[in-house]
Each structure stands twice: as structure tokens, then as C-alpha cells.
Amino acid sequence: MINLEGKEVAMAHREKIKREIEEQGIEAGLAVILVGDDPASKSYVASKEKACREAGIRSIVFQLKKETSEEEVLKKIEELNLDASITGILVQIPLPDHIDENRVVEKIDPWKDVDGLHPFNFGKLFMGNSVVEPCTPKGIIHVLDHYKIDLAGKNAVVLGRSNIVGKPIAALLLQRNATVTICHSKTKNLKELSLSADILVAAIGKPLFVTAEMVKEGAVVIDVGINRIEDKTKLSGYRVVGDVDFESVSRKASAITPVPGGVGLLTIAMLLDNTLTLARIQQAKAA
């Protein structure tokens, strides 16, 4: 069984980005908007900020109160769209319920959309003509490529259909000639479908949901889930687990990503990658 370690792959990619930024004198500036004080979101934003700093990307975090109105968020995005020193904009999702995520994402200048979620970028992704791809799916493909896992003709089953993970990873797997099935909460024969998977991607946000009896012998399993479950033995009172029961599934899978230390680290590396791509485009436009 291969442990698809994200750490080594992600760190190597981050080093490469850092070198390119230095050598090519790229001035990248990432603005991150965080609305509210959800502890998980705050910790993701802190990790993204640190990664930017280490790569030589200037990052500014706008921490807005939970009560901030949708109009105020849209106004902030408009300002950042017009600010030439900002080459990338990221709005940390989820947003509070009173803010429409779609309206927010659509407000971002598509050429500053480092998450690749604007309809322009999402459309290009599905046309196989992407500029930037959503970070988590891009990270998954990156790790599969690194470990030379061939996708052509394979049955790929994606659990989850969110815009941020499920739909875009399905599009990328399809581009790599996998035969793709997308499952969601209304799927009736989920176990049967997941058992048919040569490549199984779990992105549903349910701790340890995928167990060994749902996985085919020799399958490649990608665990996207990041779930906090209570653990009184930890100082923090919780521990982080994926959507996959690693212990049982790793005995059947031919390869599996661990949580933590898998897809999450790749997501951050791909955020830097997208930030660099868009900064380059803007630098070229301004020249």
C-alpha cells in the first residue's frame, strides 16, 4: 500500500514556486477575505498566509465581522479588483448564511480568482481550457501524477458534489479519461457505486464515513475530508480525521492519502501556484 504523502510533494512544489517568484521578480499580492470567526476557517487562513509569506507572496487578510453585510463584502471585493497591487483575491468559504456565496464569487475579477470558482474559470475548467483550477482538485491531480497513477479508463467515483471539490475534481478526472460517477446525499446505491471505484474520492464532510466494506481491493483512495472530532486526550479537545476510516481502508487500498498530511497541504501549494499564474498574467498585461 502506498501512502500518498502530501507533505513532501507539496513542499517541493512550494519551493519551486518560491524560486520562480525570486528568479522572475514576480510581484504577487494575495488578498484574503475572512468573514466571521469560525476557528477552522481562521486556522486555514493562517496557514495560507504563512505559506504566502514563505513563498515571497505579499498577503493581506481582511478579517470582517460575522455581521458584515453582503453589500459590504461586495464593496470590499470591488476595491480589491481595482487595486493593481492585488493580483489575487480569495474569499474564505463557508460564508455566514446571510451572504450569498455565488454573488460573492461572481464579483471577483476572474483574472484575480485564485480559487478558480468564478463562473468564467469554472466554465473554462469544464471546457478543458482552464486558466486556474480550484485548489483542492488541482492538488489531487498533482499528487496522482506525482505517484504516476494512471487514470485513463479507470472507474472514478466522487463522493460529494460541492463546487469547491466534488464537481471540479469530477471534471479533472474526466479530462484524464477516467469514467466518472458523482455521488451525493440523494444517491441510492452509494455502497455499490463506491465498491466499483478504481479511484475513490471522498469529499462529503462526514468523519470516517468510508469504511473498508465500501472499497474495492486495490482501489486508490483520496480522502479530502477535514473533520474535527472530540478527543479528550488532546490538549485542544479534538483531533482531525478525514471522511475515510484510514485504518480499515488502508488494508484494502493500493494507495491512500492520509489526514492530516494529505490533500490539505496540496491545496495550499496549489493556491500559491494559482496566485503565481494570475500574477504573471497581470504582470504581462501591465507591461
- For residue 153, give the C-alpha cell: 479508463
CB 125 within 8 A of CB 68: no
Using the rule CB under 6 A, is 184 a contact of ligand NDP? yes
Q: What is the DSSP string of 6-38?
A: HHHHHHHHHHHHHHHHHHHT---EEEEEEES--
Q: How far is CA 243 from CA 113, 208, 257, in A?
A: 28, 5, 11
Among 18, 58, 161, 280, binds ligand NDP (CB under 6 A): 161
Using the rule CB under 6 A, is 224 a contact of ligand NDP? yes
Q: How far is CA 246 from CA 8, 136, 191, 241, 255, in A?
A: 19, 19, 17, 9, 11
Among 68, 250, 267, 274, binds ligand NDP (CB under 6 A): 267
Among 206, 228, 239, 280, binds ligand NDP (CB under 6 A): 206
What gap in Å lies between CA 109 and CA 78, rounded to an integer?
Answer: 8
Applying CB under 6 A, the span of 56-64, 100-108, 218-226, 279-287 interacting with ligand NDP comes to: 218-226
Using the rule CB under 6 A, is 124 a contact of ligand NDP? no
What gap in Å lies between CA 7 and CA 47, rounded to an integer?
Answer: 14
Q: Is 231 annotated as catalytic? A: no
Using the rule CB under 6 A, is 92 a contact of ligand NDP? no
Using the rule CB under 6 A, is 225 a contact of ligand NDP? yes
The strand pairing partners of 137, in sequence order, are: none
The strand pairing partners of 60, in sequence order, are: 31
- CB nearer ligand NDP, residue 110 or residue 160: 160
The strand pairing partners of 31, in sequence order, are: 60, 89
- CB nearer ligand NDP, residue 203 or residue 220: 203
Using the rule CB under 6 A, is 194 a contact of ligand NDP? no
Residues touching ligand NDP, count (CB under 6 A)? 25
Applying CB under 6 A, the span of 10-18, 59-67, 113-121, 160-168 interacting with ligand NDP comes to: 160-168
Which of 76, 92, 223, 243 is catalytic? The answer is 92
From 28, 4, 246, 241, select the one nearest 139 (Cα to Cα): 4
Using the rule CB under 6 A, is 186 a contact of ligand NDP? yes
Using the rule CB under 6 A, is 165 a contact of ligand NDP? yes
Q: Is 92 annotated as catalytic? A: yes
Using the rule CB under 6 A, is 227 a contact of ligand NDP? yes
Q: Is 115 annotated as catalytic? A: yes
Among 55, 57, 108, 263, binds ligand NDP (CB under 6 A): 263
Q: What is the DSSP string of 136-157?
A: HHHHHHHHHHHTT---TT-EEE
Q: Pseudo-torsion of CA 103, 109, 111, 112, nearest 10°?
A: -90
Which of 109, 113, 115, 223 is catalytic? The answer is 115
Interface ranges with ligand NDP (CB under 6 A) = 136, 159-162, 164-166, 183-187, 190, 203-206, 224-227, 263-264, 267
